[in-house]
Amino acid sequence: MKTIKNSKLLFLIIILCSCHGLMAQCREISINDMTRALKGLIEPSLSIVMDRDNSMVSMLGSTERFSLPAQDISKPAHDWRYWVQDIRSDDSNLWWDERAGQFVLDVRFEGNGSEIKGTCPGCLVGNKDNRAPDINWKGGRIARLRMRPIPYDGSVTIEVLSVELFGEFEVNGVVDSFFPRLIRNMKNNVRNEIQTNAMNILNERDRRENIATRLRPILEAMDIRNITRIRRSGDNVLFCSS
């Protein structure tokens, strides 16, 4: 009698496992293929401009406009004011970070003189510009967006996780105790605005639908449909429906 019960239990487990396999089907695509698909989709459409009251992030046909307010620094006998001036992206590169298990979008910015302008509003007219030293963004001027694919409407869209800035913000020829705080604040403002507005774009329903719609035929050509879960498996990405 015990043998019969055990046999029935084993049979039930086999049936349940079989049904789960039918309901949760997974297909895989190499990370290299997925990277190429995202590169072709995102890189040509990306543009970032930071210019105090005329800043924007454009991606996949959508544009988010924002401002980078000037910062005032109090000094003995006068105040100084700083703002971001005409920082523009000129190239981008999307790649797979094997170590972190994330897609990365590096946005490089052109170098065009002083990126953060300093003025002295309270100084004499002839000294308003030259009394306050400018700040340059030197070295590899890169904003690094870390991203991951997530299921959306049976297809795939992209979620921005974080943004890092590379390169050094340096003052032209002046050392003063308040500059480290000023530079840190300006750098944080630039990074936070890129991150916030990139996230806003990619979290918009229309933008997510746009990405999912463009990726759907690529995935369907590989017989990948009705995606509800995404996970990594070695050098591949598994797209599962359940």
Hey, which of 117-131, 194-208, 212-226 has the most confident mean pLDDT?
212-226
> What number of other Cβ atoms are within 10 A of residue 211's Cβ?
21
CA 34/CA 150 separation, integer angstroms: 13
126 has pLDDT over 90: no
Whether the model clears a pTM of 0.85, i.e. scores above it, the answer is no
| One-letter identity of residue 200 | N
What is the SS3 assignment for 32?
helix
pLDDT of 129 strictly over 80: no
Q: Is the pLDDT of residue 6 over 60?
A: no
| Residue 62, token pair as written in the block | 């959508």
* Model pLDDT, residue 17: 42
3-state secondary structure of 113: coil
Predicted pLDDT at 14: 39
CA pseudo-torsion sign 14, 20, 22, 24 = negative
Element containing residue 219 per DSSP (H, E)? helix 205-220
**Judging by DSSP bridges, how do beta strands 236-241 and 229-233 pair with one another?**
antiparallel
Contact yes or no for 24/230 (Cβ under 8 A): no
Banded pLDDT at 89 (limits 50, 70, 90): very high
Q: Is the pLDDT of residue 94 over 90?
A: yes
Q: What is the pLDDT of residues 36-68, one digit of tens each?
A: 988 998 899 889 898 888 888 888 777 888 888
Domains of the chain: 30-241 (3.15.10)
pLDDT of residue 9: 45
Partners of 232 in the β-ladder? 237
Task: Give the closest residue to 194 by CA, choosing from 148, 144, 241.
Answer: 144
What confidence tens digit (pLDDT) does each residue in 163-207 have?
888 888 777 655 555 677 777 777 787 888 777 877 777 777 887
Q: Give the residue, 17 or 124, on which the prediction is more confident.
A: 124
* Upper half-sphere CA count for residue 206 (Cβ side, 13 Å): 7
pLDDT of residue 234: 84
Q: Are 108 and 142 in contact (CB under 8 A)?
A: yes
In this predicted structure, what is the pLDDT of residue 37? Answer: 87
Structure tokens at 69: 């307010």
Least confident of 69-78, 139-148, 213-222, 231-240: 69-78
